Structure 1
Amino acid sequence: MPPRILVVDDEAPMRELLRIILEAEGYHVAEASTLSEAHAQLHRNRFDLVVCDIYLPDGNGLELIRTARQNNQETPFVVITAHTTPAQAITALREGAVDYLSKPFDVEVLKAVVGKHLAPAAPQPVAFFGFLGQAPSLWPILQRLPQVARSDATVLITGESGTGKELLARAIHAASPRAAAPFVPVNCGALPEPLLESELFGHARGAFTGAVREKKGLFLEAHGGTLFLDEVGELPLTMQVKLLRALQERRIRPVGDNREIEVDVRIIAATNRDLEKLLKEGQFREDLYYRLNVIHLHVPPLRERREDIPELARHFVSRACNRLKLPTKQIHRDVMAVLENYPWPGNVRELENIMERAVALEPSSVITLSALPTTLLGQGEMAPSSGPVRLPEGGLDVEAHLHELRREYMRQALARTGGVQKEAAKLLRMSYRAFRYHVAKYKLVED
């Protein structure tokens, strides 16, 4: 749908002129001749921009801006008037106008001003208490995070290994009313059942061989805060029963003890397994599943959120440099293109490890291809699909060879898609941004 603009001016010829100019640019235009008409239009409809005269028959156009701001409307206002003084311009901008034009105005200047304020803003990386992301595939999570954090409901986070499920859980805790209390993680798949029960619920002295003293369990450690149950899909069925009872009753019974202890914890669980499939196979209890799955957040794999790779890579490089007390290193654009092009089977965790390795191995202030592992370069570039790879007797310039391979595959992809770069990028599993960069680098459009 085209952007909607409201034109407010008491002169009919001026409104008509503005309508003709703006509709020719593809905008949808509505009109108002008075302040009251403009108020009514803004009350009934949503506009992407308002072009407003200051002097109107029933009041000052700046009142329209004040009212909009008081009603928390963020619609940008461009003020146009024949009575221009520096004081008026300053006043209009202070009231919240984004620009100021004087009559008679240059048509091209008007188009430029309107276009500037209606151009889609580049998405900014969201850092929700340490959880970074801006990709459209993350929006369903990012939009809900503030409400999820304020709630005390149980959360189930799903996603492949390494996607940042624990980081998301920590972000929810940090933004919650429980932030001052502990965040206690436990890996449900890392401990055998007897030890896991003792870890979660604690044990009494003498409960079993080696229990020489009473132990406080992780439920009590997290009292008032958040208990993060990672890899909850690995829980044995008998432990699932005991966990379900603790969640329902909000009480725990330490191993070997007859006492029941009240606990106040919020549960966030995570798994990389398909719990619904485990339900059908009888490996996960249905009642526990519904107890955990009150709020479900699915973290997409990194290959589905390639827009986040540059910001995440820079974040990991900066963090590694700070830890090693080094000046922050930059990332060469060829390296960034490889990062954006790699399938990332290990997801965000793999990216973090590779950037930390690159910081340690790169002697210069800019991370270059030589600091990346060969496995990354082999899959980041399009390798031959068949036949053995043989090194010529006299050797070769591997960087030039890889670049030539990429250029040839890109040329063929463009030919196959009739020059449509987005479709060609999909054929090569490349991000559109990386594809455009190499199209310009190799002058493929000219070809």
Structure 2
Amino acid sequence: MLGRFLIVDPDVKTAELVAESCRAFRVTEVAADFEAATAVLESPKRLVALICELELPGGNGMDLILRVRKERPLLPILVLTSRTDPALINRAHRLRAEYHCKPTHRSSLRGFLRRAVAFERVPDERTTWAIDEVARRKKLSPREVEVLIAAVAGVSRKVLADELGTSENTLKTQIRSVLRKCSAGTLEELARSTLQLALSESDTPRFDTLPPESEHRGPPTIRPSARSSGTRDRLTPSPEELEEFRKRMQR
């Protein structure tokens, strides 16, 4: 059974805009407060990812994320908030959560959604851990992580290019970057080495096995652009903002 997205945000407009993007990928559930979110987490429903605001009625979003991370060490998590405190960003990264500052862009949100769904292709939790570990050690960009996941899952380049909405030539450039960072000659070699890493670890990954904060670079943090206008759709970037985001994604 496929998992669903859980959005936790008391702002009805934001929650609906985010849910609109999520529904293009999976069934989506929305919770407006800490208690409602907890009820979903305690249910038998399978989740593909959590998207969470930090300021929630009845509780703190970071406490909710901490609980999720202890029970589900590898679940993709996105913090979506207006808070820009470095301490909060660092703590979210320590919990292996991506951090997007409102207003976020549809393109950056969809990048997270694609990565979350892509992880469902991975055969087991151990392999998921290995992919995450390679991405952290080699400092892969979000797009490069998608290439790594596709390599392990055996997805063809054409299918991956279609899913990413990019040309095969652009994808070749991204593949070369991944192979260079990972010191691999081919995607097949990279997939084998990642699976070997998974097999070399006999224990199931746990929250307490995460590296110390000083050793953890953290997932992407996307901050709002100074050009953002409050009158615009909060998920719709201007051409200038979109170009800036594309440049960041290509680094």
Q: TM-score scaled to structure 1, two decimals?
A: 0.27
Q: Which has the higher helix share?
A: 2
- Name the larger-Rg structure: 1
Q: TM-score, normalised by structure 2?
A: 0.46
